Each structure stands twice: as C-alpha cells, then as structure tokens.
Amino acid sequence: MATDRTRWPGRWYRVRFRVARAAADAAAAIALADGGLGTEQRPAGPGRTRISAWFDDEAQARRAAERLAACGLLDGAPEGPVAVEDEGWLAASLAPREPIRAGHVLVCDRAPEQSVAPLVPVILPPGRAFGTGEHPTTRGCLELLEPEDVDGRTVLDLGCGSGILAIAAAALGARRVLALDNDPRVIDVAADNVRLNGAAARVALLAGTWSCLDPSAGFDLLMANVHRTAVVRAASVLGPRLARRRGVAIVSGFAPGELPAVAARWAEAGFAVDRETGDRDWIAVRFRITETTDAR
Ligand SMILES: C[S@@+](CC[C@H](N)C(=O)[O-])C[C@H]1O[C@@H](n2cnc3c(N)ncnc32)[C@H](O)[C@@H]1O
C-alpha cells in the first residue's frame, strides 16, 4: 500500500487492473504519478497481481485509467473509475509498515525511536513516487551500495523517484548527490523526502536526465535504477565520466536474462560486473572499472 496522507476527501474513485507480479510496482507508480492517493496490491493467481488505485477526482482517475491502458503492462483493460465508499484502504494505509533492511540501510516509514546502528535509517513515508524499498530493484541497488564507494564521494542518482537511493547515499557519507528524474511530478515528493531525512544540504534534485548535466561534471558513483534502455545508454553517455574518476556504477531495472547485453555495453566503456543480486524477474548489478582500463 502506498498513500499520500496529506489529502483526505470524502469520496473515492477506484481504478482496478491486473498485471504481471514483476510489473506491479511500475504499474502502481503510474497510478500514483497520475494523482492516485493510494494503491493496494493483492495476489491474483500465479505470477499475477491485482492492483486497486483510489483517487479523489473522477477526471484524474479517468486520465490515469487511460494512461494505464496505454502503458502496455496490463492484462486487458483497467476497470473503472468506479465511485466507492471507504473500503478500509485508508485505515490500512495508516498501519505501520515493517522496516526493510537492505545492505547497510534500514528503510522506515517513520523516524525510528531508537538507534538502528550500525545501519543507517532512511525515512520514507508512503508517497506518490516509485521507491519505497519494497521493490526488488530498489532493494538490490541498496544491497550493492557499500560505504567505501560513497563516503566523501560525488554521486549521480539517475531516475531518483522517491529519492530513496540519493538519501541512502547521503546517509552513508556522500559529499554531494545529484538526483535526476525525467518525470517532474516525482521531484516534489523526492524533495519532501530529502528534507525529512535532513539531507537537503547534500542532495540536489533536478527534473531531467543526463542531457541536463554539465559536460565537464564528473562523479564517483552512478546509481541508475531505471530500465534496460536507459542503463545501456548510460554506459556510453555516463561511463566515460565515471571512468575518469575510477568510479562505480550500480544499475537495475532489467531482467537477469538481459544482463549479457547490458554488460557488453558497459564493457565497451571499460567496466566489468563486480557483484550482482536479484531474483527471477529483476537483477541489480555493480560495475567496476577493469584493471586494463585503470592502467590506461
Ligand atoms: C524504477 S524507478 C526508481 C526509483 C528509485 N531510484 C528506486 O530505486 O526505487 C525509475 C525512475 O526513473 C525515472 N526515469 C526513467 N528513465 C529516466 C531517464 N532516462 N532519465 C531520468 N529519469 C528516468 C522514472 O521517472 C522513475 O521515477
């Protein structure tokens, strides 16, 4: 369940649809980005998930349904919008979410009452952008994030969504983080999360993609949980800037079977797979500069 707790109208419009389990978070994120106040995911048979999304505005719900129908992820057409009474989702959304441990980070939906050391907390209230720590791609990127790759370093988070990876990098000691997302609607959510985590002095947020970057800007760590096409393109566009600083790239957003093609493009930029983690549907990979490239 993901919810924007700041808006509570008296009437709801529900849009419901079915997707492959692997695509559930991405589809829910579309509904949330299009004004959904909350979503709920339930198992719907082998490998499938049924998602309900609630809106307070019928026209917005209709637009979201149209965008969902066109996104190519759904099994058939979405149902609705249907006007509904409170179906218990509001109460459910206020229920505490169990903290998620990933690598050196503990993702919590509120500030922890006690120290979680040696982990660092990342506080993310349910929000309207992808990146709660529940999705395997986000968890995978966090698992591959090592303090020594971050401490005192400059980080680029491409496709920041909720800002979770940027906040984690700042919490692990990054000197400076630039977080980009080409969907301007998520930047406000990310900005709230960055402030909530006391990271505003070190994390800069920008609506856009690599074309916004100063050509001379270098960085030590790239985090890019986007999609296969963007990860492949990042190899040629961002790889050389990382290579100059002997940097590290942590990427995700593609299936394990796509790794050979992705790795081939990163190899052209001088990087090799250093570590990987994931499940049947998703993989996260850390690329490091190869010794041959190092010696150049
Ligand atoms: C899967 S979400 C990841 C969010 C968060 N970083 C995480 O790890 O949970 C991908 C995000 O990347 C953004 N995105 C996709 N392609 C992009 C690109 N080429 N440049 C910048 N942002 C992009 C999307 O808008 C979306 O918010």
pLDDT of residue 9: 47
pLDDT(258) > 60: yes
Q: Among 95-104, 205-214, 224-233, 283-292, name the one with the lowest average pLDDT.
A: 95-104
**Which CATH superfamily groups domain 100-295?**
Vaccinia Virus protein VP39 (3.40.50.150)
pLDDT(287) > 80: yes
- Report whether 276 contacts 133 (CB < 8 A): no
- Report whether 263 contacts 275 (CB < 8 A): no
- Taking residues 140-151, what's their average pLDDT? 96
- pLDDT-based confidence at 35, cuts 50/70/90? confident
pLDDT(95) > 90: no
Q: Among 183-187, 190-194, 273-277, name the one with the lowest average pLDDT.
A: 183-187
**Which CATH superfamily groups domain 2-94?**
ACT domain (3.30.70.260)
Q: How far is the CA of 108 from the centre of ligand 1 (A)?
A: 21
Ligand 1 binding pocket includes 27 (Cβ within 6 Å): no
> CA separation (Å) from 92 to 4, 96, 139, 176, 189?
13, 9, 23, 37, 21
- pLDDT-based confidence at 295, cuts 50/70/90? very low
pLDDT of residue 66: 95
- Indicate the pTM of the whole model: 0.78
- Taking residues 156-177, what's their average pLDDT? 96
Ligand 1 binding pocket includes 122 (Cβ within 6 Å): no
Ligand 1 binding pocket includes 254 (Cβ within 6 Å): no
Ligand 1: residue of 128, 165, 181 to mutate (most ligand atoms within 8 A of CB) is: 181
Provide CATH 3.30.70.260 ranges for the chain.
2-94
Closest to 72 (Cα-Cα) out of 29, 19, 15, 136: 19
Q: Give exposure, 254-293, as e/b (b: 16+ Cβ within 10 Å).
A: beeeebeebbebbbebbbeebebbbeeebbbbbbbbbeeb
- pLDDT-based confidence at 229, cuts 50/70/90? very high
Provide CATH 3.40.50.150 ranges for the chain.
100-295
**In the chain, which ranges are E strands?**
2-3, 12-20, 38-43, 48-55, 79-84, 100-102, 105-108, 120-123, 154-158, 176-181, 203-207, 221-225, 248-254, 271-278, 283-289
Ligand 1 binding pocket includes 159 (Cβ within 6 Å): yes
* Residue 166 alpha carbon, nearest atom of ligand 1: 6
Q: How far is the CA of 295 from the centre of ligand 1 (A)?
A: 33
- Taking residues 10-23, what's their average pLDDT? 87
pLDDT(10) > 80: no
